[in-house]
Structure 1
Amino acid sequence: MVELNRAVAVSMAYGPASGLRLLDQLADAPELRGYHLLPSVRGDLLAQLGRRDEARAEFERAASTTQNQRERALLLERARAW
């Protein structure tokens, strides 16, 4: 979780590509597997980079892993926006 927050902070300081590189290193972390915020943050960074199809897929993946209906609706809405 700390590393996920670090990736967000790095993206704010150095740009989305830098944060995305850190996130990609976390993809196989067992403690983040199935955690909806990892693909959600990844979707945000991909969207900032203009990588629309990848961003859409990440928002959809995040929506499929959350149990919260409001979060799911928001993530699906974000996916449709791309």
Structure 2
Amino acid sequence: YDALVQVAPSPVVALNRAVAVGMAEGPAAALRLVDDIAADPVLAQYHWLPSVRGDLLAKLGRVAEARAEFERAAGLTRNAQEKALLLARAGG
């Protein structure tokens, strides 16, 4: 993803890179990257942003914050199965 960010930079590529960083370096490192791009208007209605953020927060034990992010992601997706999964992850 480092190379892809150089060749075709975009907020979505940056989010995908953050997921990869999370797998390689842990959720705290990934969350810092996600938080750096969270205000980008391109991602404002992109349900994967709060979904990824919720997953990282859950891995860090920040349950209440994770729940809020999963609920926000569920509100953004139009896919019923994704919505159900996200609400389940939120605990509801």
TM bracket, shorter-chain basis: over 0.9
Q: Bigger relative contact order, structure 1 or 2, given CA contacts below 8 A and separation 6+?
A: 1
Q: Which runs of no fewer than 5 residues in structure 2 stay unpaired? A: 1-11
Identity %: 67
* Aligned match for 1:37, one of 43, 48, 64: 48
Distance 1:31 1:54 in 2: 22
Aligned residues: 81
Match 2:30 to one of 9, 19, 23? 19
Take 1:26 and 1:53, find their aligned partners in 2: how far apart are those partners?
Answer: 21
- Residue among 56, 70, 78 paired with 1:67: 78
Q: Which runs of 4+ in 1 moved over 2 A?
A: none
- Alignment root-mean-square deviation, CA: 0.9
Amino acid at match of 2:51: S
Q: Which blocks of at least 5 consecutive residues in structure 1 are unaligned?
A: none
